[in-house]
A and B are shown apart, each in its own frame.
Chain A
Amino acid sequence: MQEYKRIDISRDDVLPLAERMKKEGRFLVMIHGMINKEGQPDVSWDYAVDPVVESYHVVGETSFPSIGAVYAEAATWPERELNELFGFSFEGLDTSKRLFLPEDMLETQGRGQIMVTPLKELVEKNVGEVNP
């Protein structure tokens, strides 16, 4: 049955790890990112070591080596996503073209976090407008 295993690493381990995984024929499930409960950036590289997903986490960093040279677009798409939506940077990643964001957002607003209005605030705002 499927299992999930968390392993913490440093940013310097990211590239050698990817090279080792590639050599072993492992599938890159995904690169995930978030701001954790403590307010720290938490990026994880998840590899399928069937039936286990080995999840290698780097916490507290915002810049990482790109593993695009090892896993090609399987890595560069999630890296570009994390770059556009979280503002994390990946050394060596081509960010000259957008992936998800509108073209003009890169030109006029720079990269990084899109400020999303929390649903609660949005409801309060709309309720306020409808029933002032």
Chain B
Amino acid sequence: MSYIIPIGPYHPALEEPVHARLYTEGEVIRDAEVFVGYNHRGIEKLATERNAIQTLVLVERVCGICSHSHAFTYALCVEELNGVEVPKRGEYIRVITAELERLHSHFLWLGIACHIIGHDSMFMHIWDERELVMDILEELTGNRVNYAMCTVGGARRDVSDDLRRRILEACDKLKAPLDRITEIALTDKTIAMRTKNVGVLTREDALKLGAVGPHARASGVDIDVRRDAPYSAYGDFEFDVPVVESGDVFARVVVRALECYESIKIIRQALENLPEGPINLGAKLTKIKAGQTVKRHEAPRGQLSYMLVGDNSFNNYRISIHVPSYKNTPTVPHMLRGNTVADAGLIIASIDPCFSCLDR
């Protein structure tokens, strides 16, 4: 029997509104479509009525998980157009915040993935460890979300020696639970049975469809903006880019778990080599010079791009925001085909979608 199963846009299993339509033959999904746009808030239009400092506040509201990534990328655009050189210490603090954000985002997703497959003890364990990262973020920025850490020309809050020592201690503390989580993820039978060979995205499809971030790296595509097109202070740090070939949900779990180690590695290097000096260029509001630029940042979910057009006024002439979920969501129908309806929720969630980001 053939059925069309609609999921969403508002559904108890969805954290955010999105509409998926599954075309099934019995339990097997033959085809699928995804429809977005339910979270559209007109952020790009609103930005044309705001100056650079107001825009930082606005773009942080694009997403609650990767808010720093948005402010960071927007600030990079303004600095590029205005020819501003950011103090090194400010760059390092931005990178530390970005990597802490990646850590909490990956922990969050790993927990949700476990919850979806019914492994709730693992879900609670991971989210318990995530609290350590959230505590550091709160201490560093004053907030658990929307960190307001970035400004045009640097960072807004400094890292004291005492805080630096405590973040390094927290990195040490994270090592053991992360080892344990990775070991369970790699060896647990429940996780393996629910994720191996499920929702496969081949390398060819990932390349063809333009997948980004951990989602692409789980399909054997070796891309990472931090390494391929360094920006801010990323060129100063050594880190590896984990790539897994199998392209299934299991690979996405593994890649994200391994990326947590790399983020800790970057945070440690940044803290140990934190340069002396100012953290920003002061709070003076500047006009955005005429011109156009595109800046890319490796957000937790993948490549985030901002286009900014300035016209020598205080407000943005135009900004255009394209998030990793914009690139990864079109891969979902391809991953759903041939899988069962029972796995649909997990497969959709496996790209770590953020529809709030996507619709902006």
Q: Interface on A for B, CB 8 Å cutoff?
A: 1-2, 4, 6, 27-30, 32, 34, 36-37, 44, 46, 48, 50-53, 55, 71-74, 76-78, 97-102, 116, 118-120
Given A30-B307, A32-B320: A119 and B46 interface contact (C-beta under 8 Å): yes
**In the assembled complex, B117 has its CB within 8 A of some CB on chain A:** no
Is A1's CB under 8 angstroms from B293's CB?
no
Question: Judging by beta carbons under 8 Å apart, are A34 and B318 in contact?
Answer: yes
Q: How large is the interface on B (under 10, 10 to 19, 20 to 34, 35 or more residues)?
A: 35 or more
Once the chains bind, are A27 and B210 in contact (CB under 8 Å)?
yes
Q: Which listed residue (A27, A46, A72, A76) contacts B294, Cβ 8 A?
A: A46
Which listed residue (A29, A52, A74, A116) contacts B305, Cβ 8 A? A29
How many contacting A-B pairs (Cβ < 8 A)?
94
Interface residue? B174 (CB, 8 A): no
Q: Which residues of A contact B314 (CB under 8 A)?
A: none
The DSSP consensus for interface residues of chain A is: mixed
Chain A proximity of B1: nearest CB distance (Å):
25
Q: Judging by beta carbons under 8 Å apart, are A51 and B228 in contact?
A: yes
Q: Chain B 296-321, CB within 8 Å of chain A: the 1/0 string?
A: 10000001010101010000011010
B163-171, B229-237, B273-281 - the one binding chain A = B229-237
User: Is A99's CB under 8 angstroms from B37's CB?
Assistant: yes
- Contact A73 B330, CB 8 Å, known A2-B296, A53-B294: yes
Name the one of A2, A6, A28, A77 contacting B295, with C-beta atoms under 8 angstroms.
A2
A31 shortest CB reach to chain B, Å: 9
B327–A74 CB distance below 8 A = yes
Docked complex Cα distance between A97 and B76 (Å): 36
User: Interface on B for A, CB 8 Å cutoff?
Assistant: 33, 35-37, 40, 42, 45-46, 49, 76, 80, 208-210, 223, 228-231, 235, 292-296, 303, 305, 307, 309, 311, 317-318, 320, 322, 326-327, 330-331, 359
Which of these, B76, B209, B317, contacts A72 with CB under 8 Å? B209
Q: A1 to nearest B CB, angstroms? A: 6
The answer to whether residues A30 and B305 also contact, given A4-B80, A116-B42 and a CB cut-off of 8 A, is yes
Q: Are A29 and B330 in contact (CB under 8 A)?
A: no
- Nearest 6 pairs of A and B residues by beta carbon: A74-B210, A73-B330, A51-B229, A100-B37, A119-B49, A50-B228
Tell me, in angstroms, the Cα distance from A29 to B305 when the chains sit together: 8
B42 surroundings in chain A (CB, below 8 A): 116
Known: A99-B37, A100-B40, A116-B45. A28 touches B210 (CB 8 A): yes
Residues of chain A lying within 8 A (CB to CB) of residue B295: 2, 4
Are A29 and B209 in contact, CB atoms less than 8 angstroms apart? Answer: no
> B143 to nearest A CB, angstroms?
26
- Within the complex, the shortest CB–CB distance from A123 to chain B, in Å, comes to 10
Q: How far is the CA of A16 from the CA of B46 in the complex (A)?
A: 36
**How many whole Å from B293's CB to the nearest CB in chain A?**
5
Min CB distance, A67 to chain B, in Å? Answer: 12
Closest residue of chain A to B295, judged by CB? A2
Whether A97 touches B33, Cβ cut-off 8 Å, given contacts A30-B305, A116-B42, is: yes
In contact, B49 and A30 (Cβ under 8 angstroms): no
Q: Is the CB of A2 within 8 A of B230?
A: yes
Contact A48 B293 (CB under 8 A): no
CB neighbours (8 Å) of A77 from chain B are 326, 330
Q: A98 contacts which of B37, B49, B209, B293 (Cβ < 8 Å)?
A: B37
A118 and B294 contact, Cβ closer than 8 Å, known pairs A27-B223, A30-B322, A97-B33:
no
Query: Separation in Å of the B323 CB from the closest CB of chain A?
Result: 11
* Chain A residue contacts of B208, Cβ below 8 A: 71-72, 74
* B293: nearest chain-A partner, CB-CB: A4
In the complex, chain A residues whose CB is within 8 Å of the CB of B228: 48, 50-51
- Across-interface contacts of A46 in B (CB, < 8 A): 294, 305, 307
